[in-house]
Structure 1
């Protein structure tokens, strides 16, 4: 386990986090209580993630966002009041975020994430990036990987959402398993020895380790290789859609906008063709239907993806239960929502 200063849980905190302590134990809550998290991007997804982390009881949460509150952002972002339009989005979110849990230190930073020096990111135990460019995510992920800092990336585009996590080459955690009771060696109940049985009333904690690739490796898969070709059929199409949307953000400096739907739709088609051709894949892999469903942040999708993302951050910081490796994709068009997992390693 990661060696950190052992935080003290006060009686007030024990009462506040009673349900969580019963769920995952006091040691896990202590590790969570001693963790500082950076959250970049206070859109709809960022607001959901901030809520989940604050209620879970991290030590501190820094909200980093240089954008201003707009009419559109108010629709998906519940931490900013409607009267805050034109104000900085991180600062406008601070009061409601802090009110969720006064025991958590919540700070607002109005600077651009791209302008922050490397040392800024190294003061946190986990860094969560939403609404960020591909270049920034790759830069921060590589930096944090070198210093054993956990990295999470996520976004919501209309009906679509994704999450990526990199917990390092060796992430240690524990899982609770039902205890197996072995038969006694001197059993005389028949010629055959008794089989081991599972005791439903007793559990044991099992230590495990997982390995993660970094974001650059996950995005730069060589799809012309035999190994990648063999895995193509089980790779969700959302993985390739993510490449298209990140390229759109890189080229335009924003996400697809409903106000320029016609022009952005044509650009999305062109980017789709260019991205898949560069990968050596057919453009038929991603049909034109995706265009109608990737505009704006939708509150229900933010809630689902934010819930999964928040849960993964909590699991990683508390070192309790198996994490996802490495991608989580959500498609709200598929009935009650279809979840796909993809790990390039």
Structure 2
């Protein structure tokens, strides 16, 4: 990763981001202001993610997409104009994306994300992959996990969609909770309270740490094992439906019989687990 300077919020930026600074604080906005983000895939989901990142006020956003603007993509996303059909999707989305917030450095990259070297990904603080293959997501996630780079992956299938995030081996955060008032033993008037009460007017901040697993670890869970099946009731059925859709999409793209057989086996395992979860 590149060395980061201590970000400074100018008066103009403070006015621009006033509402969100009130929401998550100046320190959080400074971290956003110092972050460089890569977004791969400028479909409908990618365009929405780009808009939110730009309006949030990151330092820089790189739009990476090798595909061309089609009639379908014009209907799915709002950054590429209808007149840009046939042009590169990242380049066509650049002008409208930049106009959302001139304070953010927005760049377009027309290369294939699969062709990028490991060194390319290391220049970013966070990477968002939309509509990418499973193999690519696993590769980038493994690389970023080793280099403390945040990773977000997602895709949409009609009314269904998924999101995976990996924020590292030790992710620290704070949680605000209502303050619990312990019963006092000094009361002489009437019986002592038996249980602690929650005061909705006061809150306390609790520091917590969580470890995120890699995408490879998540995908390699054998849901037919006894331990994993015990967790099926807490796992939404949509998760397995999305796995099945992803496998089906991959099957349709592969022509070699050996690779197709492997993916079909994975697909069948997913459907088998889905059957178990219904029973």
TM-score range, shorter chain: 0.7 to 0.9
1:122 CA displacement: 1.0
Q: In the alignment, what sits opposite 2:112?
A: 112
Contact 2:251–2:263 (Cα < 8 Å) also in 1: no
- Distance in 1 (CA, whole Å) between partners of 2:175 and 2:4 is 20
User: Mapping of 1:57-136 within 5 angstroms?
Assistant: 57-136=57-136
Q: In the alignment, what sits opposite 1:139?
A: 139
1:150 CA displacement: 0.9
In structure 2, stretches of 5+ residues that fail to align are 255-260
1:11 CA displacement: 1.0
How many residue pairs are counted as aligned between the two chains? 270
User: Mapping of 1:208-223 within 5 angstroms?
Assistant: 208-223=208-223
Q: In the alignment, what sits opposite 1:19?
A: 19
User: Mapping of 1:37-52 within 5 angstroms?
Assistant: 37-52=37-52
In structure 1, stretches of 5+ residues that fail to align are 255-269, 288-345
- Structure 2 CA distance for partners of 1:177 and 1:229, relative to 1, 3 Å: closer
Contact 1:243–1:275 (Cα < 8 Å) also in 2: no
Contact 1:222–1:279 (Cα < 8 Å) also in 2: no
After superposition, give the CA deviation of every residue in 1:248-290 in whole Å (9 maximum; x if it has no partner).
3433449xxxxxxxxxxxxxxx999743534582675699xxx
User: Mapping of 1:165-184 within 5 angstroms?
Assistant: 165-180=165-180
- Structure 2 CA distance for partners of 1:193 and 1:92, relative to 1, 3 Å: same
Contact 1:187–1:194 (Cα < 8 Å) also in 2: no
1:194 CA displacement: 9.0
- Distance in 2 (CA, whole Å) between partners of 1:17 and 1:26 is 10
Q: In the alignment, what sits opposite 2:257?
A: none
1:81 CA displacement: 0.2
More displaced 10-residue stretch of structure 1: 172-181 or 186-195: 186-195
Where 1:73 maps in the other structure, the secondary structure is helix
CA RMSD across the alignment: 2.9
User: Mapping of 1:181-330 within 5 angstroms?
Assistant: 189=189, 192=192, 198-253=198-253, 274-278=265-269, 281=272, 284=275
- Distance in 2 (CA, whole Å) between partners of 1:5 and 1:178 is 36
Higher relative contact order (CA 8 A, sep 6+): 1
Larger Rg: 2
Where 1:161 maps in the other structure, the secondary structure is strand
Where 1:227 maps in the other structure, the secondary structure is helix
Where 1:140 maps in the other structure, the secondary structure is helix
Contact 1:169–1:213 (Cα < 8 Å) also in 2: yes
Q: In the alignment, what sits opposite 1:317?
A: none
Contact 2:45–2:130 (Cα < 8 Å) also in 1: yes
Q: In the alignment, what sits opposite 1:299?
A: none
Where 2:230 maps in the other structure, the secondary structure is helix
- Distance in 1 (CA, whole Å) between partners of 2:82 and 2:262 is 35
Q: In the alignment, what sits opposite 2:159?
A: 159
1:193 CA displacement: 7.0
- Distance in 2 (CA, whole Å) between partners of 1:39 and 1:191 is 62
- Distance in 2 (CA, whole Å) between partners of 1:137 and 1:60 is 22
TM-score by length of structure 2 reads 0.86
- Distance in 1 (CA, whole Å) between partners of 2:146 and 2:5 is 21
TM-score by length of structure 1 reads 0.70
- Structure 2 CA distance for partners of 1:148 and 1:206, relative to 1, 3 Å: same
- Distance in 1 (CA, whole Å) between partners of 2:243 and 2:170 is 27
